Amino acid sequence: MIDGLIDTLLLKPYNTRIVVLGVMMLGAASGLIGSFLLLRKQSLLGDALSHATLPGLGLAFAAMSSLGIDGQYLPGLLLGAATTGVLGILFVLAIGRTTKLKDDAAMGIVLSVFFGIGIVILRLIQNIPGQTSAGLESFIYGKTASMITSDFVLIAITLSFCLFVTFLARKELVLLCFDPSLAATQGWPVLFLDLLLMALVATVTVVGLQAVGLILIIAFLIIPATAARFWTNNLRHLLWLATFIGAVSGWLGASLSAVFANFPAGAVIVIAAASFFLISMLFGKARGVIPRFLRQRDLRRKVGRQHLLRSTYEILEKSQKERPLKNLSISLHLLQQHRFWGKGELAKLIRQARIEDHLERQPSGELRLSESGFGEASRITRNHRLWEMYLIKHADIAPSHVDRDADLVEHLLGAEIVHQLEAELALTQATIESPHDIQAETTPS
């Protein structure tokens, strides 16, 4: 068993090599095109298209049978599937552009109606004399093991075509996905680009019918792209990563199906892709659940530390008239009264601040800023006040709506406006401390 698995994963048997490499290339093409569908927020379009191919399969079988041709002739079946698939896409576009229905409603209508028509046609063609429709059901669930060299070549051409078109029209397709209105105002042929993307989807879907079937091809179009989205916010990286995940999912699923005879290839391929999705959802660097939880936890700690240090510094300011401030001890009671803290929150923040060497607990039980903590508290308070003043005076935001969280204001504002804000802040503080003196100085004689 182990030797057979290793030989399969290394693509040593010829038939396995044809099947696995073919499915890998199909997964790569699906991941690439599926990325644009994801960005276009039309991921279900592949589902509507795949179901719309079913009537074409039945009609092509009937047409070839009536002409005396083998009804199972694969190129004819794929041509029929492509015809009704494209027709389904045109119906989706027509419904979206001529009515107020949204794309998801249009896709749901086309998906269900075409699939229902396809089921009826498959039932009717069973009575054609001299022909048997046995095997057409394989296009619903896929029949990867029956792939031959011609199928492999067709998939290779499909991947090459998708890569070529994507390379030539990547910027235009990206603009279409993110802002079709802007693309239209700049003079780009939005309808043509939409049709081009639909043509790529149709090509991948029709070619993938033989490998994973019309029901599961949608997973090949959606899952690699969504899995890649958890890892990056860079579009170029997204395209390459989705292509890679699609290829590896195809390789792993087809290999396991070849080793374990009772495993249906299409289903195993989708399960392999779903495994990548689960891993990406949990550990993806950009949007994964665990990294996002860790970032939010670190942010909460940072904000809590800023609140604690700033509150301590503000208490020192209130208790002292002279400048510069002296780093004196303050009671825990004053700190609790200065700001509303949740139950146990203040104790946790103090414990963390002591670990970070920002606070020291005196023998009397009072708290005192350490040397590094005093400098950090002064910096945080200054940055917060500068940011608050900028929002009020330059961003025209009401003081009651200014956020209390401080940040590195010098990272957001230029040096010139920081100096200006510092001067305004110094004047404001001087006015608060001695308003009569300032008024006397500023009153003309």
Q: Give the pLDDT confidence of 277-287 residue by residue, as tens digits.
A: 999 999 999 99
Q: For residue 23, how many other CB atoms are within 10 A of its CB?
A: 32
Q: Which amino acid would we find at residue 416?
A: E
- Which range among 101-105, 320-324, 359-363, 397-401 has the greatest average pLDDT? 359-363
| Burial (Cβ within 10 Å: 0-12, 13-18, ≥19) of residue 31 | buried
**CATH classification at residue 348:** 1.10.10.10
Q: What is the pLDDT of residues 148-187, one digit of tens each?
A: 787 788 888 888 888 888 888 888 888 888 888 888 888 8
pLDDT value, residue 104? 79
Q: Which of residues 179, 205, 223 is at a domain's end?
A: 223
Q: Average pLDDT in the 30-45 region?
A: 85
Q: Average pLDDT in the 38-64 region?
A: 83
pLDDT value, residue 340? 80
Gyration radius (Cα) of the chain, Å: 33
**CATH classification at residue 93:** 1.10.3470.10
pLDDT value, residue 294? 93
In the chain, the percentage of residues whose pLDDT exceeds 90 is 10
Q: Which two tokens stand for residue 130?
A: 């001299």
Q: How many Å apart are CA 301 and CA 313, to the nearest integer?
A: 18
Q: What is the pLDDT of residues 384-410, one digit of tens each?
A: 888 777 777 776 655 555 555 555 555
- H or E element at residue 387: helix 371-393
Q: Which of residues 200, 223, 246 is at a domain's end?
A: 223
In a domain, 250, yes or no: no
pLDDT band at 246 (very low <50, low <70, confident <90, very high): very high
- Structural domain span for residue 302: 293-433
Q: For residue 45, how many other CB atoms are within 10 A of its CB?
A: 28
Q: How many Å apart are CA 80 and CA 58, to the nearest integer?
A: 8
Q: How many Å apart are CA 169 and CA 194, to the nearest integer?
A: 12
Q: For residue 384, how many other CB atoms are within 10 A of its CB?
A: 21
In a domain, 167, yes or no: yes
Same domain, 209 and 335: no
pLDDT value, residue 137? 66
Closest CA to 285 of 250, 237, 243: 237
Q: For residue 80, how many other CB atoms are within 10 A of its CB?
A: 22
pLDDT value, residue 441? 42
In a domain, 444, yes or no: no
pLDDT value, residue 136? 66
In a domain, 58, yes or no: yes
Q: What is the pLDDT of residues 250-296, one digit of tens each?
A: 888 888 887 777 777 778 888 899 999 999 999 999 999 999 999 99
Q: Average pLDDT in the 233-248 region?
A: 91
Dihedral sign, CA of 193, 195, 201, 204? negative
Count of helices and strands (H, E) across the chain: 17, 2
Same domain, 192 and 75: yes
Same domain, 203 and 339: no
Averaged pLDDT of the chain: 80
3-state helix, strand, coil in the chain (%, to 5): 75, 0, 20
CA distances from 175 to 67, 171, 188, 224 (A): 46, 6, 9, 21
Dihedral sign, CA of 89, 91, 96, 102? negative
Same domain, 218 and 326: no
Contact 267, 144 (CB under 8 A): no
pLDDT value, residue 440? 43
In a domain, 94, yes or no: yes
Same domain, 163 and 20: yes
Q: Which two tokens stand for residue 224?
A: 């690699």
Contact 114, 88 (CB under 8 A): yes
pLDDT value, residue 133? 55
Q: What is the pLDDT of residues 109-156, one digit of tens each?
A: 888 898 899 888 888 877 666 555 555 666 766 677 677 787 788 888
pLDDT band at 443 (very low <50, low <70, confident <90, very high): very low
Same domain, 184 and 301: no
In a domain, 263, yes or no: no
* C-alpha 293: how far from chain center: 16
Same domain, 43 and 155: yes
Same domain, 35 and 166: yes
Mean pLDDT lowest among 54-58, 85-89, 213-217? 213-217
pLDDT value, residue 437? 45
Total domain count, the chain: 2
Q: What is the pLDDT of residues 195-208, one digit of tens each?
A: 888 888 888 888 88
**pLDDT above 70 (res 2):** no
DSSP 330: B
Q: Which two tokens stand for residue 240?
A: 């390459």
In a domain, 370, yes or no: yes
- H or E element at residue 133: none
**pLDDT above 50 (res 442):** no
pTM of this structure: 0.75
Closest CA to 336 of 346, 349, 351: 346
- H or E element at residue 359: strand 359-361
Same domain, 189 and 40: yes
Q: Which of residues 188, 207, 223 is at a domain's end?
A: 223
pLDDT value, residue 398? 56
**Cis bond upstream, residue 324 (ω within 30):** yes
Pick left, alpha or beta for residue 207 (phi over 0 → left; psi -120 to 50 → alpha; otherwise beta): alpha
pLDDT value, residue 18? 83
Q: What is the pLDDT of residues 413-429, one digit of tens each?
A: 666 777 777 787 777 76
Q: What is the dihedral of CA 240, 145, 223, 49, to 10 degrees?
A: 100
pLDDT value, residue 149? 81
In a domain, 399, yes or no: yes
In the chain, the percentage of residues whose pLDDT exceeds 70 is 83
pLDDT value, residue 243? 93
Contact 210, 139 (CB under 8 A): yes
pLDDT value, residue 244? 94
